[in-house]
Amino acid sequence: MAITAELVKQLRDKTGAGMMDCKAALTESGGDLEKAVEILRKKGMATAAKRAGRATRDGMIGHYIHMGGKVGVLVEVNCETDFVARTDDFQALVKEIAMHVAAADPRFVSRDQVPPSELEKEKEIYRAQFAGSGKPAQVIDKIVEGKLGSFYAQICLLEQPSVRDPNVTIEQMLQAATAKTGENITISRFVRFKLGEHAE
């Protein structure tokens, strides 16, 4: 199948990847747009993994106010340079993350912020569900680990599916942005206020 300029443009608009990368991915996928997106995602993640250790001291604090002032969010998203922090793409990403936090109400940025006591409590609840089931302990442990995965996806921002595109997690969004900008991009913290929450 001929790789047309229109097809390359479509893929570029969808992923933000460079023209040559888009053309190569379309050639590799035989012109299949969805497969090409997947190929670029995998490449982006590999690139992002290489950059993950680099320090992120720049960036911006984004905000979002929802429902006529009933919910408000502040989020700090970091990158390596002021140059990237000032780009429209970076600012749009920060805005989207703030909107996501308002809608999805995560409690932590990542797994390592979940207090061990809360994790143990969750494991106990899952184990109690299988008490007396006759299943071997190692099988129950495997089930508990599986359930913890969905627990993390509910409470950890990076593991939540994006409210705009449920096929992509917030972490994958950051990886795509890292691949596109060439800089490591991280979320260091956020706070979400809901009117009247304190009174409860």
Q: Are 164 and 134 in contact (CB under 8 A)?
A: no
Cα→Cα distances 178→3, 4, 184, Å: 27, 27, 5
Q: Do domains 5-51 and 58-110+156-194 have the same CATH topology?
A: no
Q: Residue ranges per domain, the chain?
A: 5-51, 58-110+156-194, 115-154
State both tokens at 122.
Answer: 């969750």
CA distance 108 to 144: 20
- Looking at domain 58-110+156-194, what is its CATH homologous superfamily? Elongation factor Ts, dimerisation domain (3.30.479.20)
The pLDDT tens digits for 19-30 are: 778 888 888 888
CA distance 78 to 129: 41
The pLDDT tens digits for 36-69 are: 878 877 776 555 555 566 677 899 999 999 878 9
CATH code of the region 5-51:
1.10.8.10
pTM of the model: 0.70
List, in order, residues 6 or more apart from 100 with CB less than 8 Å away: 157, 160, 162, 163, 164, 170
Q: How far apart are the first and last CA of the chain?
A: 61
Phi, psi of 63 (to 5 degrees): -140, 160
pLDDT of residue 48: 54
The pLDDT tens digits for 159-197 are: 999 999 999 999 999 988 988 888 889 999 999 999 988
Q: Give the CATH number of domain 115-154; options: 3.30.70, 1.10.286, 3.40.50, 3.40.720.
A: 1.10.286
Handedness of CA 88, 6, 33, 3 (dihedral sign): negative
- What beta strand segments (E) does the chain contain? 58-66, 71-79, 186-194
CA distance 185 to 93: 10
Averaged over 71-77, what is the pLDDT?
A: 96
User: DSSP string of 75-129?
Assistant: EEEEES-HHHHTSHHHHHHHHHHHHHHHHH--SBSSGGGS-HHHHHHHHHHHHHH
Q: Are 73 and 63 in contact (CB under 8 A)?
A: yes
pLDDT of residue 101: 97
